[in-house]
């Protein structure tokens, strides 16, 4: 099937950003990474930037702030440009807003790729990333905070996405290349 929008979801450390960027390159989609978007906004002198000051260490922004950011950034994307989203939606309110917003703008075919990863593997990858990529947001405390959020908030979000989008469960445990092949197979893309 030919999708207009793909959400990449999964626990922290599951490779969402890596796989999302590769898939965007392969398909010619725009890659919309919420993390990079937040870092861009923090560099601006804007009302949105003021709302982000002091946000770090695994703290998650409210739906209202995320939706405000989406309302600011999404209109900048050319009409009809296919998009891969990483890092959003993370809560039910964000998912509901984003799916409705996109459908109103003609994006009818939306998929979710869920990269499933056991918690032990996720923690191992995050600690490795913190050590080798100088990620200040991957402290043990921040990791624990994000896991608590994930357990509570992501289940209803994933249930919603299972109902509202074409949903593909992908095992995120193997190597990045194997995961990539699994995504291509699920989407019916030649590798």
pLDDT score of 144: 79
Q: Which fold has domain 5-185?
A: Rossmann fold (3.40.50)
Contacts from 177-184 at CB under 8 Å and sequence distance 24+?
A: 179/15, 179/19, 179/115, 180/19, 180/22, 180/23, 183/19, 183/23, 183/113, 184/26
pLDDT score of 137: 66
pLDDT score of 23: 97
Q: Give the three-state DSSP class for 12.
A: coil
pLDDT score of 57: 47
Per-10-residue mean pLDDT, the chain, length 191: 92 92 96 92 86 64 91 94 96 96 95 94 84 72 79 90 98 95 94 73
- What count of other Cβ atoms lies within 10 Å of the Cβ of residue 62? 12
Global pTM reads 0.89
pLDDT score of 190: 84
Per-domain boundaries in the chain? 5-185
31: which 2 tokens?
């890659």
């Amino acid at each position: 099937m030919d999708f207009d929008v793909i959400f990449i979801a999964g626990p922290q450390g599951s490779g969402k950003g890596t796989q999302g960027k590769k898939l965007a390159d392969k398909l010619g989609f725009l890659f919309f990474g919420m993390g990079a978007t937040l870092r861009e906004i923090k560099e601006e002198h804007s009302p949105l930037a003021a709302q982000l000051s002091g946000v770090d260490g695994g703290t998650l922004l409210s739906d209202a702030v995320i939706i405000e950011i989406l309302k600011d950034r999404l209109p900048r994307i050319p009409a009809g440009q296919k998009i891969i989203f990483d890092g959003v939606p993370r809560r039910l309110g964000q998912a509901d807003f984003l799916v409705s917003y996109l459908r109103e703008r003609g994006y009818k075919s939306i998929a979710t790729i869920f990269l499933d990863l056991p918690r032990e593997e996720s923690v191992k990858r995050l600690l490795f990333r913190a050590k080798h990529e100088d990620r200040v947001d991957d402290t043990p405390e921040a990791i624990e905070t994000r896991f608590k959020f994930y357990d509570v908030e992501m289940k209803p979000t994933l249930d919603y996405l299972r109902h509202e989008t074409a949903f593909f469960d992908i095992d995120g445990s193997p190597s990045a290349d194997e995961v990539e092949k699994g995504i291509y197979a699920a989407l019916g893309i030649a590798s």
